[in-house]
Amino acid sequence: MSTPLCETWQVTDTVAPVLALDSASLYYRSYYALPSSMTAPDGHPHNAIRGFLTTITRLVETYRPRAVVAAWDADWRPDWRVELIASYKTHRLADGEQTREVAEEEPEDLSPQVEAIADLLDALGLPRWGAAGYEADDVLGTIAAGPEHTIVVSGDRDLVQLIDSSTWLLLTVNGGMEKWPLLDAHAARERFGVDPSVYADMAALRGDPSDGLPGVAGIGPKTAVSLITAFGDLAGVVTAAEAGTPARPMTARIATKVTDSADYLHRALQVTRVASDVPLPADLSPLPDEVADPVALDELSARWGVERQVGDLRRALAAGQAR
């Protein structure tokens, strides 16, 4: 398999990255990419499990990581983000109510598969990290802020902000894995128009309907990019708007919209920025040389009819651990 690589990183025996997985992004992708006619022996769909395991196997074979960690949503809609922006992810609530107790809407036949994926990861001995009060994105941000060379694997473009000299984003878009771009800072600028360090600033200004963030009315992606490019970051955009001497791309109309939205923008930036200080285990263990719970792993594999996929992943992990 040939995966597009950025110019500044290549698979080598001396630079073994950490693969940091956005678990929900991967299992949702598998669920919708594979038919529900793929079933376990009891007839329940296992498409998400099957695709998730196959994806990890191919990632391990391709990128030869030192370690693999699955970031997990311990809290998919943290209180502190909702307090800043009440509409944050409101549209994803199962019954439409803005309450902390209501779960994220999830397809009925996916929920048991997510539980099985968690149990399989635990039985395999692959770390599955989450933290109360934080989303998986924040776990990924904390891993990326560490000293390791890291490849974050996700379909969430907001994680572009994590890219730096030692962190790359494998963006799971546009078909199969062979088409997924591995983005460094240069590739991210080419693709999105801004440096990764100010991607969150641009997203706050532009808004993000998928997260319930309205942005500034009348400022779309192109205008947001031009403003961030011209004035450096969101604070620079607000300062320029408040200066009262607008010049392109800061027209009088845009300046008014920005100043009217200054308080919202301050709060939205805090929401769109990924945390980098989540309390996590101090050390990331290397690829496991043996499974953590072979009895549970055999039982889960048989129950869900994924013996082959589990076997393939175990062989890929063993080969990586032996290097």
Give Cα separations from 239 to 226, 233, 245 (angstroms). Answer: 15, 10, 11
User: Looking at residue 245, what is its pLDDT?
Assistant: 80
> What is the residue type of 235?
A
Output the pLDDT for position 96: 47
Give the pTM: 0.92
Quick one: tokens of 54?
């196959």
The answer to whether residue 79 is domain-embedded is yes
Please tell me the total number of residues recorded for the chain in this structure.
323
Q: What is the CA radius of gyration of the chain?
A: 21
**Residues of the chain above pLDDT 90, percent:** 80
Return mean pLDDT, the chain.
91
pLDDT at 246: 76
Distance of CA 35 to the CA centre of its chain: 23
CATH of the domain at 159: 3.40.50.1010
Parallel/antiparallel/unpaired status of strands 167-171 and 182-183: antiparallel
Residue 10 near residue 97 (C-beta atoms within 8 A) = no
- State which of 238, 253, 272 marks the end of a domain: 272
For residues 71 and 287, give the distance between their C-alpha atoms in angstroms, rounded to a whole number.
Answer: 16
Domain count, the chain: 2
Q: Model confidence over 180-196: pLDDT tens digits?
A: 999 999 999 999 999 99
Do 64 and 170 belong to one domain?
Answer: yes
Q: What is the pLDDT of residues 237-264, one digit of tens each?
A: 999 999 988 788 999 999 999 999 999 9
Give the CATH number, domain containing residue 220.
1.10.150.20
Which residues constitute the domain of residue 166?
Answer: 18-192+275-322
Which candidate, 3, 79, 85, places its Cα nearest to that of 264?
85
**pLDDT for 319 beyond 80:** yes
Q: Residue 145 — pLDDT band, cuts 50, 70, 90?
A: very high
Going by pLDDT thresholds of 50, 70 and 90, the confidence category of residue 179 is very high
* Residue 14 pLDDT level (bands cut at 50, 70, 90): low
Check whether residue 165 and residue 225 sit in a common domain.
no
Residue 241 CB: number of other CB atoms within 10 A? 24
Q: Where are the beta strands (DSSP E) in the chain?
A: 18-22, 67-71, 128-129, 150-154, 167-171, 182-183
What is the model's pLDDT at position 58? 97
pLDDT in tens, 111-121: 999 999 999 99
